[in-house]
Structure 1
Amino acid sequence: MLRIYFTGDDIARTRIAAEPDPLWDLVLGLQMLRPQRGDLLFRGWRREACAAVRGAGLGGMLKLLLTLTPPVGYFPDFLNPAEAARGLEHGLEAIRSTPVPVLRRDLRRLAGGRLLPYETRGLAAGEPALLVALTDAMRACYELTVTPYRRSVESAWERDRRIRADALAGGGVEAMLAGLRPMMSWSAGELRVPGHRDQELHLNGRGLLLIPSYFCVSGPLTMLDPELRPVLVYPVERAPGALPSRDGDLPAALGALLGATRAAVLEAAAFRVSTTSELARRLGISPASASEHAAVLREAGLVSSHRDRNRVLHQATDLGRALLDASRHR
């Protein structure tokens, strides 16, 4: 059982992640390429994702990634750096910059009785070329196993975040934590996670970051290293019967009318209210480009924007949503 101990300061500093964490989704998705308990919803996804990954020609790097992410038990903490909260590329850069002592320690823990492939020796030594090849393979796997299902991922993530935010608004952090039953139980400053390996985590005033994850199915988990930023990753609250499904392509006619990128910005703004940086991160474009496209859509009456302190929030107007709906059903 995992036991997490809170002080008053920790309760005040506990929060929910502002965005899905791409590296947690990737690592847990790689685990899900192999069957595990509680994954009935993912059989169709696994069939499609395995076929896509096999066809990508990743060779030895795929074997290494699967070794680093066993379906049960420990996997290296260095695969999930805090920098990934800023986006996939920030997380991959942090992995490439992992200090050699940390690589050695985590891989030694992973070895713990199992035979690791020869490539892990170079990884433990921090060979730059191997770290680049590893993160290139991680990016490719993310684009094959997560990106095509982004709408399912973000819809479920948003639903879970609304549930937690409502509990927080109604009764504070303690009510939010209590609402995570039966995955975990809250009582008198202690959060207990049954089914987890035996571990104690003293927050000591650092607070706890809750990270809902679409690909987490076996139960909540955290880092092994107690010195790292305290996080608790847990399965998102799923709508009954929700299945992971591929995102549909934007209608060709809408792309021809607006341009493919501008049409994608409109769709992203219709999905939820987003900052310029969030639009850029979601679509893989620069913030300047996202701002420019949003401005054109705003001039056309398809998007509205307003300033909230030091950020600008964008959302599709009724006209913009109607255009998207009409183009999908023509």
Structure 2
Amino acid sequence: MALRIHFTGEDLARTWIAPEPDAMWETMLSLYRLRRRERTVVFGEWKTSALARMPAATRMLATLVPARGYSVDFLTPRAESGSVEAGTEALRRTTGERLRVDLTELAWRHPGTRLPGWAGRLAEGRPEELNAIVSTVEDYYRACLAPHWSRIRAQIDQERGRRARLLTAGGWQAVFSTLHPSARWSFPTLELAYPAEHDIHLSGRGLVLQPSFFCRQTPITFRDPGLPPILVYPIEHDLGWAHRPATDRRRPLADLLGTTRAQVLETLGRGDFTTTELARLLAIPRSTASRQVTTLREAGLVNSHRLGQAVLHTISELGVALLNGRRSGLIA
């Protein structure tokens, strides 16, 4: 089974990579992660924390987001930005027709599940029920996602930087063909593994590529092909994203360089990043990241070069040698 997205030349000109994580998609997809019995290093620690914090009212969202299969499209509306404030405001404006169509589809797709009474009232467009859903999303986000949002955003920034570099080096062919192991791009069609046969004809509308932290296994999109086209796809993860080490393993290097510079150098040891990406990954001001990179560059530990409108920072051979010396115990 496959998802096929059909492009025109006009669609390629209108295709873009979302500038930030989308709180509504991350809310919906994180609920999948919580409800599925998955053994994964990436989300295990977060799941333990989130289950302990999760508001009781989240069961309303669980109704709309079953553990498997179709979830209502209206929970992930197109908004002016990816913030939870913009997303919930767009959710509050959901039309009665959209509510009715999606909840009818939910009942049809999950015939063995009886929807609660409030779902019927929501399908009728009752504003009090929609307001309750909005409040539940806000409470869930605040309890389970907000404490981790800066690190989630930093990893999305890292993925966006990677996509931008691929686009610069190899065009849309390089971007599309590496979105997912199943991706097959042959103009005018992008084909990906999907739980069902599904075709989207963009017809000049373009496509939003939305990197997602909690998306897993296959990319996802709206069931209704008439909605604004979006492809939400999984990113690669830093396995330790959900916690900070109890002890500072970088202490010897930090004594030599200073804590922040040591963190910047070790981060660049994992890959190439812009100043903005470094700031997000390390949760420091951009000005601080820029100052520390400048110092490391002047010491010959980092190289910087321009790629398009961005400046990319790369660890130098001397920087690698310094990190290897720390790891081998030469720096003590």
Length-normalised TM-score, structure 2: 0.71
**RMSD (Å), alpha carbons:** 2.7
Amino acid at match of 2:242: P
| Structure 2 residue runs without a partner (length 5+) | 247-273, 294-332
Counterpart of 2:63 (choices 45, 67, 72) is: 67
Which residue of 2 is the match for residue 32 of structure 1? 33
Which residue of 2 is the match for residue 21 of structure 1? 22
Matches for 1:161-200 after TM superposition, within 5 Å: 161-200=160-199
Contact map agreement 1:148 1:247 (CA 8 A) in 2: no
Contact map agreement 1:157 1:213 (CA 8 A) in 2: yes
Change (3 A) 1:182 1:131: same
Which residue of 1 is the match for residue 257 of structure 2? none
The CA distance in 2 between the partners of 1:183 and 1:39, in whole Å, is 21
If you compute each CA radius of gyration, which structure gives the higher value, 1 or 2? 2
Which residue of 2 is the match for residue 316 of structure 1? 287
What's the secondary structure of 1:316's corresponding residue? helix
The CA distance in 2 between the partners of 1:37 and 1:5, in whole Å, is 33
| Structure 1 residue runs without a partner (length 5+) | 249-270, 280-301, 304-314, 323-330
Matches for 1:112-151 after TM superposition, within 5 Å: 112=108, 113=111, 114-151=113-150
Contact map agreement 1:79 1:95 (CA 8 A) in 2: yes
The CA distance in 2 between the partners of 1:319 and 1:16, in whole Å, is 25
What's the CA shift string for 1:266-309, capped at 9, x where partnerless? xxxxx9649xxxx9xxxxxxxxxxxxxxxxxxxxxx97xxxxxx
Which residue of 2 is the match for residue 12 of structure 1? 13
What's the CA shift string for 1:39-88, capped at 9, x where partnerless? 442111111101101xx3x3xx3221111011211111111111163521
How far apart are 1:318 and its partner, in Å?
5.9
What's the CA shift string for 1:170-229, capped at 9, x where partnerless? 011222111224142212321111133210000111111000010111310000111111
Contact map agreement 1:149 1:246 (CA 8 A) in 2: no
Which residue of 1 is the match for residue 96 of structure 2? 100
- Does residue 45 in structure 1 map to residue 46 in structure 2? yes
Contact map agreement 1:10 1:208 (CA 8 A) in 2: yes
What's the CA shift string for 1:86-117, capped at 9, x where partnerless? 52122112212111111011000011113111
The CA distance in 1 between the partners of 2:240 and 2:215, in whole Å, is 15
Which residue of 2 is the match for residue 265 of structure 1? none
The CA distance in 2 between the partners of 1:247 and 1:115, in whole Å, is 45
What's the secondary structure of 1:2's corresponding residue? strand
Amino acid at match of 1:34: R
The CA distance in 2 between the partners of 1:148 and 1:18, in whole Å, is 21
What's the CA shift string for 1:3-62, capped at 9, x where partnerless? 111111111211100111010011111121112557442111111101101xx3x3xx32
Change (3 A) 1:11 1:28: same
What's the secondary structure of 1:81's corresponding residue? coil
Which residue of 2 is the match for residue 258 of structure 1? none
Amino acid at match of 2:91: I
How far apart are 1:243 and its partner, in Å?
3.8
The CA distance in 2 between the partners of 1:245 and 1:147, in whole Å, is 14
